[in-house]
Amino acid sequence: MSTQEQAPFFSVKDIHAYYGESYIVQGVSFEVKEGEILALLGRNGAGKTSTLRTLARVDDPILSSGEIYLQGQAIHEMKAFEASRLGIQLVPEDRRIIGGLTVEENLVLAQVAPPMGWKIERIYEHFPRLAERRKQDAVTLSGGEQQMLAVARALARDIRLLLLDEPYEGLAPVIVQEIEQILLQVKKLGFTTIIVEQNAIAALKLADSALIIDMGQVAFSGTAQEVLENEELRHEYLAI
């Protein structure tokens, strides 16, 4: 087997990141296999979202040291727009739906700059609710529909790694089930995904592997099933 075949699809090596003088991400390391879903978990304030934003190379937090590789390419040396062009797509917790534009205009805008992902009609095949509302002002959608649009907008780009921050946040249980079905579709399509989610059980049922962050450090790394079966671990780090 060649060195390239042995290399992990996505690897994070001892990353450290700060918000101003606040030391948020403290030596986090992990790997993700191609096509795998990783649940990135922890209590509120543990550093989950900060870790995810560091991976996406956004301006805050600031990566001070460590290495991030996507199929051997050094992400830690990139700006956010460069990482996005390479195929790292972040769906933030606040969804960033653009007001004053229709659903379809939000999708088209995502494809203004290359590389392009799914064509709009293919997106509508997988998201029929969005097809029904294609001419509707996007900010008038329900919370669940806005989350669908946020995921669909990411698919409109060329994805190699999908980063989801709290996709179930603020949604009613019945809507959470709809979003779960969408994410199951994403999984079946083979997209490598990292999901940060406060609803740990829902994330673990979707995920293959799990990483628990506590006070900016890795407290556990293993399979999602191991966390589901370990009540003591869940109670200590996830309060469930």
What are the extents of the domains in the chain?
3-238
CA distances from 97 to 89, 137, 149 (A): 15, 10, 8
Cβ pair 31, 8 in contact under 8 A: yes
Length of the chain: 240
Band of pLDDT at residue 4, cut at 50, 70 and 90 = very low
Cβ pair 143, 175 in contact under 8 A: yes
Percent of the chain at pLDDT above 70? 98
Tell me how far apart the alpha carbons of residues 82 and 65 are, in angstroms, rounded to a whole number.
Answer: 18
Q: What is the DSSP string of 112-137?
A: SSSPB-S-HHHHHHH-HHHHHTTTSB
| Model pLDDT for residues 70-121, shown as the tens digit of each residue | 999 999 999 999 999 999 999 999 889 999 999 999 999 999 888 889 999 9
The four Cα atoms 107, 68, 202, 97 give a dihedral, to 10 degrees, of -20
Q: Quickly name the fold that domain 3-238 has.
A: Rossmann fold (3.40.50)
**What was the pLDDT predicted at 6?**
60
Tell me how far apart the alpha carbons of residues 74 and 122 are, in angstroms, rounded to a whole number.
Answer: 31
| Model pLDDT for residues 194-238, shown as the tens digit of each residue | 999 999 999 999 999 999 999 999 999 999 999 999 999 999 999
The pTM assigned to this predicted structure is: 0.91
